[in-house]
Amino acid sequence: MQPDPHSSHPVREHRPYRRSLILGAVCMAVALGAGIYLTVETRIEPPVAAIRDPEAEQALPWLKRVAENCERYDRAEQDAERAQALKDNARLVASTVIASARGRLESKRVSSDGSQVLFTIAVGSAKFKPSLLHPIHADTEMFQHVQDAPIGACMQFSVRTLTAASILERSKVCDKDYFADFAAVELCH
């Protein structure tokens, strides 16, 4: 024990304990800070209302039904109603065949091994990219057409089947982002 120069009472030194207490407090503050940060990052916002896209709906009329399904999904008060909107939209998208639509080449790149081309064609806010199950291989005419086209070019395309690109339930209904099994892709005539 050492005397305290400002007091008549002796004071014990607890430096090792004080250090671990301070270290513990700092760790707790960091943990709390991380917890607060994660809470802010994972906060769920109310769904944004379906945004209509007249340009895309005119070019691809089935997108109007997609927007209607999204509105139904957002208005639903019961899980069963949301599930029905999701099921109806999945059926609509799966049964859709696109013939000779026109869009803009938004992005493109060749895979690292050069075996396929990855690209996105946009029709208004709707986006179409090759399905992982149906890639556009290097030895095809479609590959060459996409490779020769500059970004922003008008592309004419046909699609055999579509699937929603999103894995989130609401996005499967409301986002207009699709994996496509392309039957044809070429520059617009």
Q: 98: which 2 tokens? A: 């696109």
Q: Is the whole-model pTM more than 0.75?
A: no
Same domain, 76 and 152: yes
Give the pLDDT score at 40. Answer: 40
Q: What is the mean pLDDT of residues 55-67?
A: 91
Domain assignment of residue 133, given as a range: 54-187
Q: What is the DSSP letter of 112?
A: T
Same domain, 73 and 125: yes
The mean pLDDT of the chain is 83
Question: Measuring CA to CA, how many Å separate 28 from each of 15, 16, 33, 40, 177?
Answer: 20, 18, 8, 18, 42
How far is residue 112's CA from residue 117's CA, in Å, rounded to a whole number? 10
Same domain, 147 and 71: yes
More confident call, 112 vs 4 = 112
Q: Tell me: the pLDDT tens digits for 36-51?
A: 444 444 444 445 555 6
Give the pLDDT score at 12. Answer: 52
Same domain, 8 and 67: no
- Yes or no: say if 186 and 167 are a contact pair by the CB < 8 Å rule: no
Give the pLDDT score at 46. Answer: 47
Total residue length of the chain: 189
Q: 175: which 2 tokens? A: 């986002």
pLDDT above 90 covers what percent of the chain? 68
Same domain, 147 and 61: yes
How far is residue 189's CA from residue 172's CA, in Å, rounded to a whole number? 33
Residue 49 lies in a domain: no
More confident call, 132 vs 14 = 132
Q: What is the mean pLDDT of residues 58-85?
A: 95
Q: Which residues contact 11 (CB under 8 A, 6 or more apart)?
A: 1, 2, 3, 4
Residue 139 lies in a domain: yes
